[in-house]
Every structure is written in structure tokens, then in C-alpha cells.
Structure 1
Amino acid sequence: MKEFHCGSLVPGCDWHTRHDEEAEVMRRTVEHMRQAHGEDTIRETMVEAIRSRITNAQKAA
């Protein structure tokens, strides 16, 4: 399971997502960046920044 926490890229944002596939985490994150943060153009540098912050989800205890 992969996860992304937007606050790791945009300080103060509590949004997060998780999915089995990194590609789906990326798709959801790009959509969030467009809707919540007004990012009309997602440049390669932003894609790289998002990808570098996708982590393996911690298993619930």
C-alpha cells in the first residue's frame, strides 16, 4: 500500500491518500493539487516532488 500526505509538499495541508498502486496515488494527488491548490499546470518537477514523497503505508497495529 502506497500513501501520500500533501502536507509533506504543501505545509499545513492535511489531505492524504493511499492505494495499492503508485500510479493511482499519483493521479489522485495531481487532481488534489489542481482542485485544492490551484495548480493548473503540473510540471515534471512537481511530478518528481510528489513521487519522492510517496511512501509505503504503515500497517495498522
Structure 2
Amino acid sequence: MKTFHCGSLVPGCDWHTRADSEAEIVSRTIDHLRETHGETIIRPSIVEQIKARMSDQENAA
């Protein structure tokens, strides 16, 4: 399971997500950036920053 916290990219944002795949995290985060932060252009560098800030989380039992 991977997790991403938007506050690591946009200081002060409490939004976070988790999913099994990196692609799903990127997709959800891009949607969040567009809807919440008003981003209209998502550059490849932003996608790379999202990927770099993801972390692995062990599945809870």
C-alpha cells in the first residue's frame, strides 16, 4: 500500500490518499490538485514530485 500526503507538496494541505498502485495515487492527487488547488496544467515535473513524495505503508492486520 502506498500513501501520499498533499502537505508534502502544498504546505498546509491536510489531504491524503492511499492505494495499492502508484498510478492510482498519481491520478487521485492530480484530481485533488485540480479541484482543490485550482491547478489547470499538470506538468511532468509535478508527477515526478508526487512519485518522490509517496511512501510505502504496511497493510494493517
Q: Same fold (TM over 0.5)?
A: yes
Partner residue in 1 for 2:29: 29
SS at match of 2:31: helix
In structure 1, what is the equivalent of residue 38 of structure 2?
38
Q: What is the alpha-carbon distance in structure 2 between the residues aligned to residue 23 and residue 2 of structure 1? A: 10
Count of residues in Structure 1 that have an aligned counterpart in Structure 2: 61
Per the normalisation by structure 2, the TM-score is 0.91
Q: In structure 2, what is the equivalent of residue 19 of structure 1?
A: 19
SS at match of 1:42: coil
CA RMSD of aligned residues (A): 1.4
Aligned-residue sequence identity (percent) comes to 59
The letter of the residue matching 1:8 is: S
TM score, norm. by length of structure 1: 0.91
What stretches of structure 1 move > 6 A for 4+ residues in a row? none
